[in-house]
Amino acid sequence: MSEERTPYRDDAEDELDEGVAMHESDADLAADAAASDDEVAGDDAAQDDDAGASARTSSRAARSKSRKPVIEPLVIGIDGGGTSTRLALADATGRVIATATGEGAAIRPGGAVQSAEIIASLVEQARTAAGLTDAPLPAYLVAGLAGGGQEALARDVHRELGRVALASRVQVLSDAEIALEDAFGDGPGILLIAGTGSSAFARTPDARLERCGGWGPNIGDEGSGAWLGRKALSVVTAASDGREPETGLIGAVLTATERETLEELIPWAAAATPATLASLAPIVLATAATGDLRANAIVSMAIEELIVHIRALARRSFTDERAAIQVALAGGLLTRGSLMRKRLEQRLKTAVPGATVLARDVDAVKGAVRMARRLAGIDLD
């Protein structure tokens, strides 16, 4: 389906009057911009994505601020998923001054206040770490949130963020849009996201945005972490009945959920959120890596579900799957070196032969920072 939604942001679209408050040589600016990439990558490797993790900041990023002058205006980029939220506070050159990580700020019906509170807490943490609590508000905040493609929900979060005055201007959009920005800039390509949920987006050669999947945990999210968790529970109970072959998933799932019997999984599953179900995904993958047939069957089904997302967009947006298409992979299940990514890339060679997979990991936070700089009127060249 074609995405026609206008991202939510403050009505004023005029360029900011604030200029660069401190000037450096062109060489210094280039060095800062290059350093920001290294700092984001380093901070990412140190971050713990466990659901419900308390917000914390990167002291290393804060220390870097003392070594180099801050070039105003400041901007904030946010990537909010179902399990965790990452934030980067950056200066006008794109250099990251501080980062923060906390619980998931994904948009859910009735959850706008909670999403805004999580984001506000992370902004405060980052500004404190950077020693900028008394500085003027950042010029622009771009929040790419899971669920942000739903217009009414995005509007609610935008309203709540406006009430707490985190930046001069705010834009709320989907996590896919900021990931596309990092992956392809303003060029065409297909982005597949598989984390707690799943979805795929394409930017077409004529700059249209197309979506496939992303229908949420109740009626969609095929191939996602939550989907893997649900399938694992079904296989475990079926194996116990004798309807499925024996599997190491039984013991692994009971251990992971801290339950003594399979019967105790019934109330556990009834109360499980998508993020809780997704916590079983690493168990499925680890069991599959031991050669367990049932766990491997679940992984294979997940791969096929995700491949169908890419192939559908290839046919809809790029004529067919044989066309030359750049494909980027994002989300916790598809990090470089992961079992899911390796098997998906192998399957892509036959299912979507025109696909060329972006070798590096997509960093949605970097995409959000880049968008915030552009919207603040900063020249990115």
DSSP 69-84: ---SSPEEEEEE-SSE
- Give residue 216's pLDDT: 85
Domain borders along the chain are: 8-186+363-375, 193-357
Cα dihedral angle (189, 193, 198, 203), rounded to 10 degrees? -20
Question: Is 365 in contact with 47 (CB distance < 8 Å)?
Answer: no
Nearest Cα residue to 87 out of 128, 135, 26, 29: 128
Q: Do domains 8-186+363-375 and 193-357 have the same CATH topology?
A: yes
Question: Is 7 in contact with 143 (CB distance < 8 Å)?
Answer: no
Peptide bond into 353 cis (omega under 30): no
In this prediction, the residues of the chain whose per-residue pLDDT falls under 50 are 1-66
Residue 38: C-alpha distances to residues 74, 97, 202 (Å) = 19, 12, 27
Estimate to the nearest angstrom the gap between the alpha carbon of 117 and the chain centroid.
19
Instruction: Give 124's contacts (C-beta < 8 A, 6+ positions apart).
Output: 133
pTM: 0.72
- Give residue 176's pLDDT: 85
Q: 306 by DSSP, 3-state: which?
A: helix
- Give residue 9's pLDDT: 44
Residues paired with residue 192 on neighbouring β-strands, in sequence order: 200, 329
CA-to-CA distance for 53 and 103, rounded, in angstroms?
Answer: 5
Write down the architecture of domain 193-357 according to CATH: 2-Layer Sandwich (3.30)
Element spanning 222, H or E = none
- Give residue 378's pLDDT: 87
Instruction: Give 66's contacts (C-beta < 8 A, 6+ positions apart).
Output: none
- Give residue 262's pLDDT: 95
Residues paired with residue 84 on neighbouring β-strands, in sequence order: 103
Q: Count other C-beta atoms under 10 Å from residue 265's C-beta.
A: 18
CA-to-CA distance for 226 and 231, rounded, in angstroms?
Answer: 9
CA-to-CA distance for 173 and 178, rounded, in angstroms?
Answer: 8
- Give residue 270's pLDDT: 96
Question: Is 189 in contact with 203 (CB distance < 8 Å)?
Answer: yes
- Give residue 83's pLDDT: 80
CA-to-CA distance for 328 and 355, rounded, in angstroms?
Answer: 10
Phi, psi of 325 (to 5 degrees): -135, 130
Specify the residue for token string 């109360």. Answer: 271
- Give residue 67's pLDDT: 56
First-to-last C-alpha distance (Å) of the chain: 33
Q: 152 by DSSP, 3-state: which?
A: helix
- Give residue 60's pLDDT: 43
Estimate to the nearest angstrom the gap between the alpha carbon of 41 and the chain centroid.
14
Q: Residue 125 corresponds to which tokens in the numbers above? A: 């943490």
Write down the architecture of domain 8-186+363-375 according to CATH: 2-Layer Sandwich (3.30)
